[in-house]
């Protein structure tokens, strides 16, 4: 299984925001730190906002921040809202009727077990875990070089 580029960068947006607690993060800064287009990140932001993983603050001094504490956002939370399809094989798809074994196939059962194990691992890891695993993450992302922009209360 391979996660989409959208999911990869959704996780990166979340990590950036977690590494920048109490402040608003701006898409141009996030895009620059990961060398990706702002337009691409804006597109990715939509499902994150819709599911409450990220909040946006509009205006000249606006930006984005986590919608809930980083230790309460799992990798599975992000993958679930950014991935469209978890079909590991054709028989996982709704219209898979060509195989006569579709309802009693051992392969289907094994792949479903593997997918559930994958999800279980993602549920054990939070965005906070990823950020804390790299104590120098703020410096690596260039956050320490940015001006302090705490949102108005």
Share of the chain above pLDDT 90, in %: 60
Per-residue pLDDT band at 104 (split at 50, 70, 90): confident
Give the pLDDT of residue 96: 56
Who wins on pLDDT, 56 or 88? 56
Domain 5-145 grouped into CATH 2.60.40.10: no
CA distance to 21, 109, 132, 144, per residue, from 34 (Å): 18, 38, 19, 15
- Reference 73, options 57, 51, 56; nearest CA is 51
Phi/psi at 134 (5° precision): -120, 90
Q: Is the pLDDT of residue 152 over 80?
A: no
Sign of CA dihedral 15, 30, 23, 50: negative
Domain ranges of the chain: 5-145
For the segment 39-58, the average pLDDT, to the nearest whole number, is: 95
Q: What is the mean pLDDT of the chain?
A: 88
């Amino acid at each position: 299984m391979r996660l989409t580029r959208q999911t990869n960068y959704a996780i990166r947006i979340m990590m950036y925001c977690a590494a920048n607690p109490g402040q608003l993060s701006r898409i141009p800064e996030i895009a620059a730190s990961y060398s990706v287009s702002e337009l691409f990140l804006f597109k990715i932001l939509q499902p994150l906002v819709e599911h409450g993983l990220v909040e946006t603050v509009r205006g000249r001094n606006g930006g984005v921040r986590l919608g809930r504490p980083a230790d309460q956002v799992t990798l599975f939370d992000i993958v679930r809202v950014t991935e469209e399809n978890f079909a590991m094989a054709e028989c996982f798809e709704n219209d898979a009727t060509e195989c006569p074994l579709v309802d009693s196939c051992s392969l289907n059962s094994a792949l479903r077990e593997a997918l559930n194990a994958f999800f279980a691992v993602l549920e054990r890891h939070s965005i906070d875990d990823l950020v804390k695993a790299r104590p120098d993450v703020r410096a690596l992302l260039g956050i320490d070089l940015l001006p302090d922009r705490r949102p108005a209360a």
